[in-house]
Amino acid sequence: MERQMNVSVSSKEGDESDVVKESMELIETVGSYVGFRKTQRKECLSLVRRLKLLVPLLEEFRELGTSVSGKVLNCLADLRKALLAAKKLLKHCNYGSKIYLALEGEAVMSRFHAVYDKLNQALDGLPYDEVGISVEVKEQVELMRMQLKRAKKRTDTQDIELAMDMMVVFSKNDDRNADSAILERLAIKLELHTVTDLNEETLAVRKLVKGRGGHNAENIQQIIDLLSKFKQITGIEEKIAFDGPVSSKSLHRCQSSSIPHEFLCPITLEIMTDPVIVATGQTFERESIRKWLDSNHRTCPKTGQTLNHLSLAPNFALKNLIRQWCEKNNFELPKKDPYFGSHGSSTVLMKEISFLVQNLSSCQLDVQREAIGKIRMLSKDNPENRILIADSGGIPPLVRLLCHPDSKIQEHTVTALLNLSIDETNKRLIAREGAIPAIIEILQNGTDKARENSAAALFSLSIIEENRELVGTLKGIPPLVDLLQHGTVRGKKDAATALFNLSLNKANKSRAIKAGIIPPLLHLLEDDKNLGMIDEALSILLLLTSHPEGRNEIGKLSFIEILVEIIRNGTPKNKECATSVLLELGLNNSSLVLAALQYGVYEHLVEIAKSGTNRAQRKANSLLNHMSKCEHIP
């Protein structure tokens, strides 16, 4: 009997030692992660910092000379499980798809909250006094637990600008370059604007596709489509080889036909059809490396080394291996246009652009019209062309043509500048040339089409903070408000997107309110539901509620009644936006919360808290908690 008891004690000591060791290794591992995605970076770093506060506790357990009770061992085992969950989540935020983590930001935040709960539960029952844990360590652990509880109570961790951009990108079918401007801003926010970033994201998305096994195909397709758009605005025009639309069938093929890594071009991550060797000895697809070199790069895209020469040597050996592998695996190589992207055609294009820029200053109206029309088309979809047009001196004459009396020339010119403004450098050049006052003039007095594109151009230019302030001081907001109120359907949408962007600037919020932005926004909520602009209107109103003047004008009983109606009958996204606005208003004026309750919001908030979108659930819970604190509900 005594021998059995000794074995039991020894086993417990061994279990405790293993659990403590594994827990410390888990904390050390998560501490080594350095690439957290931007959308979750703050939360990840906070969690890692809190986990490190557990190290002194684990060290004291490791140094204990006595065995521990079964209760303590169970608590340590629960702590290890919580740390495993934390490691899995942090690893996902370190290596996972940036687009997925942004798209599912609120779902990911729910996983953080689940980890916080597990950590708190594991530490809650730990009998510190029984094992002789020092007072200092106990206080440190309690501090960590308080931080975790506070982290769960935060009501808004999502970047409102990012949320709006994601909503616009996934809800629009319009391919105009106003949306390219949003894409560019998204690419910068998600850190997906270099070849290296995009290659890493492509690998992460491939892994996501394989891991999902055909589930959530629509969601995955959105991610793939957005990644393709990011590649296009960066100058990589090749489509991602996910074998067509994502379906269970295509996912199966993707899993069974894994292309050897050495067959993929390092720039596009697509299988090569015409591999060539550069001066550093690296191999690339001819078309891709030629585009790289034609953009005045003189380094190897893979190694960063300077190229001693620009000659491209065919890699016949690799080409033969790729052909043999394709035959063996029944893999059909993508067809390539033999004339596309050749060096000769690039030289011809440069000459053509230079000629068109000269014709912008022609005395003949027809010649000017033709030149502007061609520049507009050349700059629509091709990032390299936008740079070439600017480098050829195209921006100054285009800006001068904004004041041309011919309405057609005005329309083409403002659209061409919209296209050119997608490039970050061009945004500054266009503003520096004095385009913004002329664009505002067209916004006030141009044709319907010219006004729409002027609003879109102001949106694109105002992605840069200094230009937001400039548009505001040059009185660009009142004509945008007028377009929002009286414009075409397309014009209203362009105006709303531009006004949202401009209202990110504090001074512009006041300008927009004084310009009368709130009545047309309320009109969109009441009467223009068929336009599908409720989310856009509510997003702008949410920005304006952070301003005292905005709260005063918005916080009327009639508006609260509209919000409650949307919370009752809107789409899931409508309900999320409306709940967010009501929460912001209610936190600043509890009488508005009481009014919402009188309009019958309570039962609908309870329903949203159970079955709404992740973000809507959190907003609804925060609002219900606030109502309870104000003693409006039990």
Residue 45 lies in a domain: yes
Query: What is the phi-psi region of residue 633: left when phi exceeds 0, alpha when psi lies from -120 to 50, beta otherwise?
Result: beta
Residue 388 lies in a domain: no
Token pair belonging to 99: 């687009």
DSSP state of 240: P
Q: Is the same domain home to 213 and 321?
A: yes
Residue 568 lies in a domain: yes
Divide the 634 residues of the chain into consecutive groups of 10 and give the mean pLDDT of each group: 37 64 91 86 90 89 73 87 94 91 80 89 81 84 84 53 69 56 79 83 86 64 84 63 42 49 82 89 87 76 82 85 86 59 61 91 91 90 83 94 92 93 88 95 93 92 89 95 92 91 91 95 77 86 90 89 92 89 90 91 92 83 87 60
Q: Is the same domain home to 139 and 205?
A: no
Length of the chain in residues, anyone?
634
Q: Is the same domain home to 130 and 8?
A: yes
Residue 94 lies in a domain: yes
Residue 504 DSSP SS3 = coil
- CATH number for 266: 3.30.40.10
Q: Does the global pTM surpass 0.95?
A: no
Residue 287 lies in a domain: yes
Q: Strand 313-314 and strand 275-277: pairing?
A: antiparallel
Distance CA 446, CA 488 (A): 13
Whether the Cβ atoms of residue 536 and residue 572 lie closer than 8 Å to each other: no
For residue 283, list its beta bridge partners: 277
> In the chain, how many domains are there?
3
H/E run at residue 276: strand 275-277
Cβ neighbors of 228 (< 8 A, separation 6 or more) are 239, 240
Distance CA 268, CA 281 (A): 18
Question: End-to-end distance of the chain based on CA atoms, in angstroms?
Answer: 58
Domain that holds residue 321: 190-329
Residue 63 lies in a domain: yes
Q: Is the same domain home to 87 and 149?
A: yes
- The strand ranges marked E within 4-124 are none
3-state helix, strand, coil in the chain (%, to 5): 70, 0, 25
Domain end position, chosen among 311, 329, 347: 329
Residue 78 lies in a domain: yes
Count Cβ atoms below 10 Å from residue 63 Cβ, excluding itself. Answer: 8
Half-sphere exposure of 571 (CA within 13 A, CB side): 10
Whether the Cβ atoms of residue 264 and residue 271 lie closer than 8 Å to each other: yes
Residue given tokens 């020339």 in the structure block? 409
Q: Is the same domain home to 271 and 200?
A: yes
Domain end position, chosen among 103, 130, 154: 154
Q: Is the same domain home to 130 and 239?
A: no
Residue 56 lies in a domain: yes
Q: Is the same domain home to 36 and 96?
A: yes
Domain end position, chosen among 329, 364, 393: 329
Q: Is the same domain home to 20 and 145?
A: yes
